[in-house]
Structure 1
Amino acid sequence: MVVEPGGRYVTQRQQARMALVSAEPLPGGGIRLSAADHEPLTVAVPEPGDAAAVSTVWLHKEAVEVVSAGAAADEWFSGFLGSPVRLVHLDDPARRRPLTPDFARGGETVSLADEFPLLLTTTASLDALNSLIAQGDHPDEGPLPMNRFRPNVVIEGTAPWAEDDWLRIRIGEVVFRVAKPCARCVITTTDQETAERGKEPLRTLARHRRAGDQLLFGQNLVPEFPELPELPSAVGLLGEGRGAGTLRLGDRVEILE
Structure 2
Amino acid sequence: MAILSELTLYPIKSCAGISVKEATLTTAGLSVDAVYDREWMLVDEQGCYLTQREHPRMALIAPRLRSETLEVRAPGMLRLEIPLGLPDPEHERTLEVSIWDDKVLAYDCDDLTAAWFSSAIGAPCRLVRFHAGASRVTSTKWTGGIEAPTLFSDGYPVLLAGSASLAELNDKMVAAGRAPLPMNRLRPNVVIDGIGAFEEDFADHFALGAAQLKPVKPCGRCPIPAVDQATGVPGPDPLDIMRSFRTRPAMNDAICFGMNCIITAGDGERLYVGMPVTMTLAF
Under a length normalisation based on structure 2, what TM-score does the superposition of the two structures give?
0.79
Q: Distance in 2 between matches of 1:18 and 1:50?
A: 32
Q: Deviations over 1:92-122 (max 9, x none)?
A: 1x41212013123334111111111111111
Is the Cα–Cα contact under 8 Å of residues 173 and 247 in structure 1 kept in the other structure?
no
- Among 60, 85, 102, the residue aligned to 1:20: 60
Q: Which amino acid aligns with 2:97?
A: V
**Aligned equivalents of 1:127, 1:197: Cα separation in 2:** 21
**Conserved 8 A contact 1:13-1:186:** yes
**Contact 1:9–1:59 under 8 Å retained in 2:** yes
- Whether 1:250 aligns to 2:250 is no
Partners of 1:130 and 1:200 lie apart in 2 by 13
Residue identity matched to 2:95: S
> Pick from 43, 60, 72: which aligns with 1:33?
72
Q: Decide which moves more: 157-166 or 48-57.
A: 48-57
Aligned AA (1:41): L
Query: In structure 2, how many angstroms separate the alpha carbons of the residues matched to 1:173 and 1:37?
Result: 44
Aligned to 1:166: 203
Distance between the aligned counterparts of 2:264 and 2:67, measured in 1?
26
Alpha-carbon deviations, 1:14-58, whole Å to 9, x = none?
101001111123335x41111121111110134141475121010
Q: Which amino acid aligns with 1:207?
A: S
Out of 172, 193, 204, the position equivalent to 1:132 is: 172
User: In the alignment, is residue 193 of structure 1 matched against residue 230 of structure 2?
Assistant: yes
The 5-angstrom pairing of residues 1-257 of structure 1 reads: 1-28=41-68, 30-45=69-84, 46-50=86-90, 53-92=93-132, 94-104=133-143, 105-136=145-176, 139-140=177-178, 142-211=179-248, 212-225=252-265, 243-257=267-281
Partner of 1:98: helix, strand, or coil? Answer: coil
Distance 1:173 1:25, change over 3 A: farther
More helix by share: 1
Do the aligned residues in 2 keep the contact of 1:183 with 1:217 (CA within 8 Å)?
A: yes
Gaps spanning 5+ residues in structure 1: where? 227-242
Superposed displacement of residue 82, structure 1 = 1.6
Shift of 1:159: 1.4
Question: What is the letter of the counterpart of residue 76 of structure 2?
Answer: D
Match of 2:104, SS state, is: strand
CA distance in 2, matches of 1:201, 1:158: 23
Matching residue's letter, 2:223: V
Question: Structure 1 residues 183 and 198 mapped into 2: Cα distance closer, same or farther (>3 Å)?
Answer: same
- List structure 1 runs of 4+ shifted beyond 4 angstroms: none
Whole-angstrom distance in 2 between the partners of 1:5 and 1:158: 44
Larger relative contact order (Cα-Cα within 8 Å, sequence gap ≥ 6): 2
Distance 1:85 1:213 in 2: 33
Q: TM-score, normalised by structure 1?
A: 0.86
Counterpart Cα distance in 1 of 2:103 and 2:47: 9
